[in-house]
Structure 1
Amino acid sequence: MDDIYIDALRGVLTDRCTLQAVRDIEGGQSAEALWQAIEESGFADALLPEVEGGAGLSLTEAFPLLELCGAFVVPVPLAETMVARSLLAQAGVPRPGGSIALAQGRLQNDDTLVCERVSFGRVADWVLVGLGKTCLLLPADAAASTAAVAPLDATLSWSAPAQAAALPVSGVADVRVPLACVLAAQLAGALMSVFTRTLQYANDRNQFGRPIGKFQAIQHQLGVISEHAFAARMAAQMGCSTDRLRVAIAKARTSEAALEVAALSHSIHGAIGFTEEFDLQMYTRRLHAWRQAGGSESHWHDVVGAELVDRRDGLALDLIRATTDPA
């Protein structure tokens, strides 16, 4: 990808998506001003063809942009909106203004459509919902909202009459695949941010007359964090596609890394890392939330395992080569 796109988005996020702005939105302040600035920058349409006002980027080319959304813990579904608008364009569905979350839904006995713990469900304008073999675009303000553990997430439910406003979207077989794809990329960005911040802290924090990063035990923990962060980033980059198996590997590896990196970074920081005033917790909370969203590592490990078991032609090694080939 041309660095001009990466630098431009980084500039927008540096100016408008400070950690204080993230704190304010998590605390209940409106995200409208931030989303409007992002909308005006044009990055929400980055995956659309140029004839439709986009940049014509492929999903693979857009990986650095999706990763930046995680590195800046962007408190609106920018990465999800990029992918959702691309899916709507491919299906020939008019794209609404505003942000779009991705979620998997289920129908209750009374025909209420429920989406559990929607990532960015509290701040999204629309939700692209996978429901069996169908996919629906629904307005978020028509849903009943229940707070989830993560401050930006929510469980959303649409009554049968509220579903009348839904727009059917064809060609999306399983919304969990694009959701897991963007979550893996954002996890990769957040993991790298946690690593760099923890490394800096270890170099700055002095104990017994020298930086704690000079102690062998801390160096070992930093080494493990770096292994997980860089391996997860590579998996997310190779899995930034529409291929279900590649996405499964990417989400499984990044979710697995999230658990280890969050624990080790807090171990190095000690008690200060958990405090509200310290920035680390803003990243590690996202690691835990995104690890579970769209299916945790155990779910996607099952997907990969089922593919290996059901494979009738070729060797398992052939499958591994095919899914790890960066080309």
Structure 2
Amino acid sequence: MFTEAIEKILSDLCTPARVRAVERGEGAQALWQALEEGGFLELLTPEIADGAGLSLESLAPIFLAFGRHALPVPAAQSIAARALMRDCPQAPPAGMLTLSGSARRQADGELCVPHLAYGSRADFALVNLDGELLLLDCTQARRESDGVHGSLCATLYWPDETVGPALGDNGAEIRMFNAAIHAASIAGAMERVLDMTLEYCNDRVQFGKAIGKFQAVQHQLSVMAEHVAAARIAAQLAFAGDHPVPELMTTAIAKARTSMAVPSVAATAHALFGAIGITEELDLQLFTRRLHEWRISEGAETYWNGLVGQALLAQPNVRACEFVRQLTPSPAA
């Protein structure tokens, strides 16, 4: 029910034209208000607190939809922030709230949050600083654009005096949740890229037939489809189970597998579209740019594969297939 309602909002208000407008610096208030006023930012909030009380598993298709539409506002992060602040005396603030699991102190005392997702637009940021949970007002920060065309990421710097006390000691959970969100976003965006590529290959005629009929193209599409299917399964795994926050190993596998697929899927799509694939007018670049951006957010595949490898090597008598089986929730009898 919630997924269908959100899909309707995204189809109406999150068109490629609107995404381009937000990238140019225009507002996204109508889109944000539709999500906020519809109560969709409270999907993880318990029913007793006037939320929907959904499980993590129920969120997966919603976060995939955000990726499929290249959503230019931090709705997923705002939903997660409300869950991460579950034990805090302070209520989540109104406005666009984003997440970062990798804040750090500078030598001059400033607090730096590098490559903050939606950092150019967010009103607040919930960040992890050495395990502490900090809520920061983005209007008090110095924002530096990442310099990438159309990117909504930015690096933010807060003077020490603007950083308030920690709200809790569960800051490490931010990185888990944000990595899982990015995994789902990648999987959703890759589904959109695959759909666009299939449509183009069926419509583009060369030598008297659609290029999708050529065996060499079909091979590339098959590999692309395998990556997209594996990415979706991995992303769903991160949200499986009955935990309040995605768990470390399933999140690590999800972020690693989805990030690993990005170069191949993006490159194949652009190769099959040919010269038109790199143009601003084509919607493809709205998604492939984000795929590369989300790939490195909260750590690329090298970082997360390292964590999975260390966990596997710590159990020398467990084979890889059994290791993965232990992480996969069994279906209810």
TM-score by length of 1: 0.95
Distance between the aligned counterparts of 1:196 and 1:316, measured in 2? Answer: 33
What's 2:163 paired with?
Answer: 163
TM-score by length of 2: 0.93
Deviation at 1:176? 1.3
Cα-Cα RMSD: 1.5
What letter is aligned with 1:93? Answer: Q
Distance between the aligned counterparts of 2:234 and 2:270, measured in 1? Answer: 24
Pick aligned residue for 2:268 from 264, 267, 270 = 264
Deviation at 1:318? 3.2
In structure 1, stretches of 5+ residues that fail to align are: none
What's 1:153 paired with?
Answer: 153
Write out per-residue CA displacement over residues 73-120 of structure 1, whole angstroms, 9 at most, x where no aligned residue: 000011111111111124443111112111120001221000111111
The answer on whether the counterparts of 2:130 and 2:171 sit within 8 Å (CA) in structure 1 is no
1:171–1:93: structure 2 CA closer, same or farther, 3 Å change rule? farther
What's 2:214 paired with?
Answer: 215
For these two proteins, the number of residue pairs brought into alignment is 323
The answer on whether the counterparts of 1:185 and 1:240 sit within 8 Å (CA) in structure 2 is no
1:217–1:321: structure 2 CA closer, same or farther, 3 Å change rule? same
Distance between the aligned counterparts of 2:60 and 2:5, measured in 1? Answer: 15
What letter is aligned with 2:127? Answer: V
The answer on whether the counterparts of 2:122 and 2:138 sit within 8 Å (CA) in structure 1 is yes
Deviation at 1:182? 0.5
What's 2:249 paired with?
Answer: 245
Distance between the aligned counterparts of 1:262 and 1:176, measured in 2? Answer: 25
The reply on whether 1:38 has 2:41 as its aligned counterpart is no
**Does 29-38 or 295-304 show the bigger shift?**
29-38
What's 2:243 paired with?
Answer: none
The answer on whether the counterparts of 2:253 and 2:305 sit within 8 Å (CA) in structure 1 is yes
The reply on whether 1:290 has 2:288 as its aligned counterpart is no
Written as runs of structure 1 = structure 2, the 5 A alignment for 1:201-212 is 201-212=200-211
The answer on whether the counterparts of 2:84 and 2:174 sit within 8 Å (CA) in structure 1 is no
What's 2:183 paired with?
Answer: 184
Distance between the aligned counterparts of 1:16 and 1:41, measured in 2? Answer: 14
The reply on whether 1:309 has 2:317 as its aligned counterpart is no
1:259–1:152: structure 2 CA closer, same or farther, 3 Å change rule? same
**Percent pairwise identity:** 42
What's 2:106 paired with?
Answer: 108
Deviation at 1:135? 1.4
The answer on whether the counterparts of 2:23 and 2:151 sit within 8 Å (CA) in structure 1 is yes
The reply on whether 1:82 has 2:79 as its aligned counterpart is yes
Deviation at 1:311? 3.1
Distance between the aligned counterparts of 2:219 and 2:327, measured in 1? Answer: 31
**Does 71-80 or 24-33 show the bigger shift?**
24-33
Helix, strand or coil for the counterpart of 1:102?
strand
Distance between the aligned counterparts of 1:198 and 1:169, measured in 2? Answer: 45
What's 1:228 paired with?
Answer: 227
Helix, strand or coil for the counterpart of 2:44?
coil
**Does 153-162 or 310-319 show the bigger shift?**
310-319
What's 2:93 paired with?
Answer: 96
In structure 2, stretches of 5+ residues that fail to align are: 241-245
